[in-house]
Structure formats: C-alpha cells, structure tokens
Structure 1
C-alpha cells in the first residue's frame, strides 16, 4: 500500500542550547526558611498581579505599557526583581497563547468529526480515512448534545483568541480544583494551603554577564555560599550589607559542577530559581544558562557508521542496530519503563531507560539514533478512534514530548546525533516485511522490533519495504526481484538480472555470441558444445 502523501525526508535534530542543574539547599535554620517563605510569597503576589493585568490588556501592549508595569513593580521590590517578574509574565502569556491555539484546533477537529459521524446512517461502517456512524440512536443524541456544548465552548475560546485574552491559574488549575475535594485527595486544609503557597511562590532571577558571579539578585559563589537580594519591604531581615540575606547552608553542584564553576568564576550569566517541595519539605536551587550553539552534524556523517532505530511505546523502547547498508545487526533490545505514579517517578523511569539506550549505542559504535517525528495533535481525540478506548489510552500514554526533549539532550552528552524520520507506515511495513524473515527458533521478533528496523532504514535513506525474494524453482527472476538489502548505489539491488546476449537454449545461431559464464560449473550434459557454433557435418561416403 502506498502512502497518500510524500514521506518527509529524515533530518538531524538540533540539540538544545540550554542547560539546567539542580541541587538541594541543606542545613537551613528556621530563620532561613522563614525568610525564603516571605520573599517567595511577596514576589509571588506581585507576579500574580502583573500577570492578571497583562492577560486582561488584550492586544494593547507596547514598550510604554511594559515600562509602566515595571516601574510599578520596582516600587514594591527592586528593579532586578521587577525585570524578572515581567519577563516571567511575558513567557507565561506566550505559553498560554500557544496552548489556547492548540485547544482551539482540537475543538475544531472534534466538532468536524462529530458532524461527519452525525451525518452518517446509524451503524454505518467507517474506513481508515474517516469514521463511520454511531451505533445507536441514544449515542447519536448524546453526541448531538455534546456537539452543542463544544460549539459554545469554541465560541468562547475563539472570542478570547481574537481579543488576545488568556486564562491562567498561577499554581495550577488542578491544585485549585483540589481545594473543593480535600477528602478525595487525602489532604487537610492546611496541607493544601502549604502546597498552594509553594506553587504560587516566585523566586527566580535571570543572570547578567559582567556582574559579580553572573547574578546580582541571587548570588552563588564558587565555594557554595548563597545570598539573596531582599525586596524593599523585607530589607529589615537582611544579615549582610546592601540589603542581602546570606543562607547558612552551602550548595554543591555534582552534575556539571565544573562547567558551572567556570561560568561564575568568569562572571558569565547564570539564572537561578529557588523552589520548595512541600511534600518532602525540602528546598532546591536550580542553576541554568545558555550554551553556544553547536554546528549540526551533516546527515551523511551521522549515519556513516550505521544507526540504532528506536520505536517509542507506552511502556518500553524497542531498539535495533543497523549497519550503514540497512542490514539488522545482532539482536533486538528492549528498554522498559513504568509511567505510573507521580511525575518524579515517571521522569526517573524515562531517564533510566534513555541512559541504558545511550550506553548501548556508545558500545555499539554507531553515530546516530533514529526516532520517529511523532506528534499526536489529532490522534488522541476520542471521536477519531470511536470506541477504541484502550487504543486512545495507549496513544495518549506515549511520552512523545518529554522523551524527544530528553533524548536530544542526553544524546548530545554522549556525542550521538538524533535523526528524526517520518512515522508513516513504520509499524505496518515493519511487521509486513521484517518481522517474519528475522524470526528464528532463538529469536522472537515483535511488531515493535520490526518497526525499529523500519525507522532505522528510513533514517539511512533505504526503502523500508522488501521485495519478494527470488523463488527457488529456477535461477532467473521470472517471479520477482532480489530483496533490497544493499545501498542504493549497489548494482542489482532492485533491478532485474543484467541482460545476457543470445537465446537461453541449446541452439546458438552462428552470428550470436555464446552465453556468458562457464556452463561446465553447472555440470550440464553437452556443455562443451554450447560454446561453439553448431553446423551439420558432411554425410559419410559409405551411405
């Protein structure tokens, strides 16, 4: 089956230029904790107020309005804190606008599918291109009612989109809704309040190149001393000159510690953020900076030593190594992870699986890892897949965004290149052309392993589908072509056999060359005469 649209060419994924490391703020006394709570709560209230004003302003935004907002915030904190708050507001607004556009697109797609299914007769079967009708009149009426709800919601979201208004809940909408269901969440009012205040607190400051240790607002010295510039209403809590408060504990960055130390020693910009984990009652410090962009490795260089094709699934990564010619090498590998439980557990599981994948890729000697350029913007809607609830849950459970972000950054640390390919038909063609030929008595190939081979071959520029192998009934290609296993430049990869002059019979005319090849090697009768012109001899004289 051919694809309905041309496949996108594989490309090298550009690695991220940002870097962030985190460590724990240890040995804090009671006064340190109280100061951190007061500063975070005060700046959080200012950030909430600024976001509300900015979100309700619509499209009436310019440099003058930004200067007015920053001037009003400076009177309540400081100039640097005001700059950090306004920048965070702009980033939050931009993120909300992108989410609003995606939400609007999902509503339009869902309404289109519902209208199509409502127009179909009851029980009409669907196809791979379009779903069929609903199964019963009751379901038809329920979907008609849902369509009216979605249309009303779409009207409201479209109006907000036209006016530039966004709706954002600082601290998270889910946590805000949990306030009305404390018993179901297993929380008390005090426990919920602690989480709410921690989520709404603001304690981040951007770095400044040329300033002392790269940041004047939250300063961290190379020996681990942390000091904070207090807002003006809280300057009476300072224990150091110039309205600063120095924490009693020292910090140490174990991961990328040398790179961080080089930056702060040379006074290059480093941004810091202080967060409180109310569940564990711990404080953390995150340092981030921007690295110079590295030139992308050419695609031909990346796949010169073969690739490892990776098929992303809801509970594991299926990987297979391929050489430069597209031939599978060795055995398939599977890297499992469990995405149930809290976000910290899911993130750790994903990192562990990717770490094992990267270590195996380094040991294999390949230069690139091939993945699918997946995006499930339309595939997660329940209207597209009808009653296939389990399939929708499987598709929604694949961590495409988080996995792609992590695999690109982790591959850069191991000096590997990520090649993204078009995901069309990889699972279908892989199972059709590679699962059965590679299944042996000692190797059980799964559909996901075959998809990994298809992904790797597409990244190498080879076709995924294999042609039917030459039948054993004779040596010619009368019923098919050879399997496509070599490079595109290799002779005879998908072509028929080269034409041999002369007829394939024992009769060779005098003006025709003999067949190529030595027929003696095939042990045929009368082979010695096949290389000589045939002519009838004279009759014997005795007759």
Structure 2
C-alpha cells in the first residue's frame, strides 16, 4: 500500500502513472531496497496498463495532480494494481424539493420508485426488480446497482432530488432470534449497507441531491391513503409517502367514522380506525393506525394458515415484535397476563 500526496509527481512518490500515446498508461513502481539485488534498477516500469472503470475521472485526477493511493495485490496468480483518489463532486443539476421529488422504498425483491409534483401529488411509479437470497451476493449486488442506476437516471432526467429511507438495521438484526427461519433469511439478505453506499455514490457522481428521512409509518400511510385509491401496491404508495415526507408535507388521518380499505395479501380489507385522542399528537395517532393495520395483516396471514401461527426454530410464535415464546410444554400462550396474546386451538 502506498498512500498518495498531491505534493508528489502524479500524486504519489512510489507509484507514478503516466498516459502514453496509444491511449494506455505506464506505471513506474519504486522497488524497495530489500527486494532489489545488486545492480538492479530502482524502478520497475510496466507498460500497457489499462483500467476498465472510471477512466475519465482518473484522467482528470492526473491532470489536476490529485493524490493517488495505490495498492499492489498478489491474488495467487497475478499482480493487480488498485488506485483510489477523491472523486470530484459532480455539479448539482436537480432543483429544490419544493418542485417535486423522487421517493425510493427499498424492499427485499424490488425497489419501488414514485415521483411527486410540486404540490405533493403522486404522479407515476415504477418497480425495479432485485434478486432474492437464492442468488449469489455478486448477482444481488449487480442487480441492486442496475436498479439504483435507473432510479438515479430518472431523477436526473426530471431534475428532481431523491428521497430515501434513513434505516438502521442494527437493532432489527439483533432481534432475528425471534423471527422464523424464512423471515431471518429475508432480513439478513437485505443489502441495506450496499444500498445506502451505492445510492449515495451514484447521486454524488450524477449531481442529484439525496435527502434521507426517517420512514416511520410510511408503509401504513401509503396503504391507508394512497394504495387503494390509485390501484398501486403498498410499496409504491409507501415510496410516495416517503417522497412527500422529503417535501416536508404532513399526512392527515382519514376522517373520523370512515372505514378505509387497505390492500392485504392480494385483496382489500376494511380497516377500522382506532379512536383518536383529542390532544394526542399526529405521530401517536399514526402509531395506533399502524398497530391496527398490522393486526389486519396478521389476521389475514393467520387465516391462510388455519389460525395457527408458525413456530420458529427458537421456540417462538409470530413475527418481529409480535413474537411470543412458547410455554414449557410447547403450547400457545393464552394467559391474560401476557402483553401479546396469540390464541389458537390446541392440537
């Protein structure tokens, strides 16, 4: 590893790169004294060097004498040279969020991308497919990169910022022991670290502004207010709610007495809204709506399984925060003193 410096020739003292007339590069490496025999040259000159990615940015860095850090690596068959440098930020091309944004909802198998206008109305949506946990990590990362590239290109064409979720999976992954094996695989398969890193990089290079917000209750808001009305999926509507949050628009609850229909497992079901306290905050009200919505989702899921929640490998029943431990004799907990009850007929 050789750390670069902008005070040195071509940005590095020990590894110096120069362009040649044939469109390739010439790399001049200073050989350490401990590896050099008597009479041998101090420098190793390698001609015909080429790079497959980001050559234009590398040429700009060489012209500006930017510090270039090099890493020479032996992979068991060949020597490989890796160069890193500070990429110049692209000129911002997007307008402010008040002129509309593009919201992204990150899911296990796809990205839901929804565009809004200056008034916060949901204009159009697209779905970019991702690969699931049965594919290799390289394949999933490549599919994620392609999907993000399309989403950023869409925002660039519309001159609108991107609004994405500011998620933290640290606490959620600690609770994997309470999930079923399938749920744990799906959550561990989420490439959120790669998603966040690549989204920031692509927006950085394209000159697209990236706005990160807490996505609390956006899926519930999308399901209750926009999904059934527009005939969209919950994820597409959630991306619209994320976009509206980036525009700093508030979400009013449905009028008291109404019974909205929400999409659940391929159908639409009535959602009875809980009573709202007169002095309660809007966040607390949406929290109660979210709990009611999750109850409908769970009820429909139980209906497809004959009313019996599945048992995970760790001796719990249910999913996530609703997971409840079995008793010692492996029966469902139906005692009144439990904060969460899952009652089912015993076999």
Shared fold by TM > 0.5?
Answer: yes
- 1:480-530: CA deviation from partner (whole Å, max 9, x where unpaired): xxxxxxxxxxxxxxxxxxxxxxxxxxxxxxxxxxxxxxxxxxxxxxxxxxx
Partner of 1:438: 230
Flag the structure with higher strand content.
2
2:20 is equivalent to residue 227 of structure 1: no
Report the alpha carbon displacement of residue 266 of structure 1 after superposing the two structures with TM: 4.5
The 8 Å contact of residues 90 and 205 in structure 2, kept in 1 or not, is answered as no
Residues 437/354 of structure 1: CA separation in 2 closer, same or farther (3 Å cut): same
Partner of 1:370: 163
Partner of 1:410: 202
The 8 Å contact of residues 217 and 229 in structure 1, kept in 2 or not, is answered as yes
The 8 Å contact of residues 211 and 268 in structure 1, kept in 2 or not, is answered as no
CA distance in 1, matches of 2:236, 2:36: 62
CA distance in 2, matches of 1:470, 1:458: 26
CA distance in 1, matches of 2:89, 2:147: 27
Partner of 2:61: 263
Report the alpha carbon displacement of residue 232 of structure 1 after superposing the two structures with TM: 2.1
TM-score when normalising by structure 1:
0.43
Partner of 1:421: 213
CA distance in 2, matches of 1:390, 1:213: 52
The 8 Å contact of residues 73 and 80 in structure 2, kept in 1 or not, is answered as yes
CA distance in 2, matches of 1:227, 1:238: 18
The two structures, once aligned, show a CA RMSD in angstroms of 3.0
Report the alpha carbon displacement of residue 319 of structure 1 after superposing the two structures with TM: 0.8
Report the alpha carbon displacement of residue 275 of structure 1 after superposing the two structures with TM: 3.2
- 1:268-317: CA deviation from partner (whole Å, max 9, x where unpaired): 31111233455xx554332211256789999xx53132111110012210
CA distance in 1, matches of 2:108, 2:169: 13
Match of residue 460, structure 1, among 242, 247, 267: 247
The 8 Å contact of residues 373 and 421 in structure 1, kept in 2 or not, is answered as yes
The 8 Å contact of residues 207 and 271 in structure 1, kept in 2 or not, is answered as yes
The 8 Å contact of residues 218 and 238 in structure 2, kept in 1 or not, is answered as yes
Report the alpha carbon displacement of residue 391 of structure 1 after superposing the two structures with TM: 2.6
CA distance in 2, matches of 1:429, 1:388: 27
> How many aligned residue pairs are there?
253
Q: Which has the larger radius of gyration?
A: 1
- 1:108-163: CA deviation from partner (whole Å, max 9, x where unpaired): xxxxxxxxxxxxxxxxxxxxxxxxxxxxxxxxxxxxxxxxxxxxxxxxxxxxxxxx
The 8 Å contact of residues 237 and 245 in structure 1, kept in 2 or not, is answered as no
Residues 273/466 of structure 1: CA separation in 2 closer, same or farther (3 Å cut): same
TM-score when normalising by structure 2:
0.65
Flag the structure with higher helix content.
1
Match of residue 3, structure 2, among 206, 211, 214: 206
CA distance in 2, matches of 1:238, 1:360: 59
What are structure 2's unaligned runs of at least 5 residues? 259-347
Report the alpha carbon displacement of residue 334 of structure 1 after superposing the two structures with TM: 0.7
Residues 382/304 of structure 1: CA separation in 2 closer, same or farther (3 Å cut): closer
Report the alpha carbon displacement of residue 466 of structure 1 after superposing the two structures with TM: 4.7
The 8 Å contact of residues 230 and 238 in structure 1, kept in 2 or not, is answered as no
What are structure 1's unaligned runs of at least 5 residues? 1-203, 440-444, 472-543
Residues 237/463 of structure 1: CA separation in 2 closer, same or farther (3 Å cut): farther
The 8 Å contact of residues 239 and 246 in structure 1, kept in 2 or not, is answered as no
The 8 Å contact of residues 222 and 265 in structure 1, kept in 2 or not, is answered as no
2:177 is equivalent to residue 379 of structure 1: no
Residues 296/209 of structure 1: CA separation in 2 closer, same or farther (3 Å cut): same
Partner of 1:284: 80
2:37 is equivalent to residue 236 of structure 1: yes
Structure with greater contact order relative to length (CA < 8 Å, sep ≥ 6)? 1
CA distance in 1, matches of 2:44, 2:245: 57
CA distance in 2, matches of 1:283, 1:467: 64
